[in-house]
Chains A and B, each alone.
Chain A
Amino acid sequence: GAVVSQHPSRVICKSGTSVKIECRSLDFQATTMFWYRQFPKQSLMLMATSNEGSKATYEQGVEKDKFLINHASLTLSTLTVTSAHPEDSSFYICSAKPGPVTMNTEAFFGQGTRLTVV
């Protein structure tokens, strides 16, 4: 299947600093990518939909000024957690579907990024 790669896989940062997480589709182009967050022993919760060349669409309750999403190319989306706090510690996962919006395909997921804010 298609490959989606996230970097870094783990990051520890100090409270108040910003952290950038990259999500790359390695062997396909993705007009749309999705970002999820997962707390321990819970399911994946959708944070936002990242659209290439346009603004991201955020889910209710997700602060767009805190979680900055940039989708500058068809193979790269980035999530920046700004002014991170311990409660932002979580497992962040990106997802992408190959092809344009109307193409029939399943979604592929990155390996996830474990963020710990100390």
Chain B
Amino acid sequence: DAKTTQPPSMDCAEGRAANLPCNHSTISGNEYVYWYRQIHSQGPQYIIHGLKNNETNEMASLIITEDRKSSTLILPHATLRDTAVYYCIVSYRNSGNTPLVFGKGTRLSVIA
């Protein structure tokens, strides 16, 4: 079973920041937080991951609370192409034979 809880859907105006929350209150000390997204009829796309510290890459920023029980994915300037289902997943990183377990995710709709 997925160890994360996300709102089922969110809307965001084009050009604004999209902030997607995720609760993972039972996360273990060595588990990472991963974010993937799935655009309609495509395979999931990796976005970002983190353990304790906040992370930023060319796609997004990841803010993890100090107690690690929740996190927020931030898309700084959402575009229509960011419309997708976003999945927050917790998993051990050095586990090549452990699959990612997907929850229901958040369906983000970016509106013009």
Contacts and interface: CB of A to CB of B under 8 A. Distances in A.
Interface of A: 1, 4, 6, 31-32, 34, 36, 43-46, 49, 51, 91, 93, 95, 97, 99-112, 114
A100 B96 contact: yes
B97 A51 contact: yes
Question: B-side binding surface: helix, strand, loop or mixed?
Answer: loop
A73 to B, nearest CB: 17
Contacts of A32: 96-97
Contacts, number: 64
B102 A43 contact: yes
How many B residues are at the interface, by size bracket?
A: 20 to 34
Contacts of B49: 106
A108 B41 CA distance: 16
Contact of B46 (A91, A102, A107, A112): A107
Contacts of B46: 1, 106-108
Given A1-B46, A107-B46, A110-B43, A101 B102 contact: no
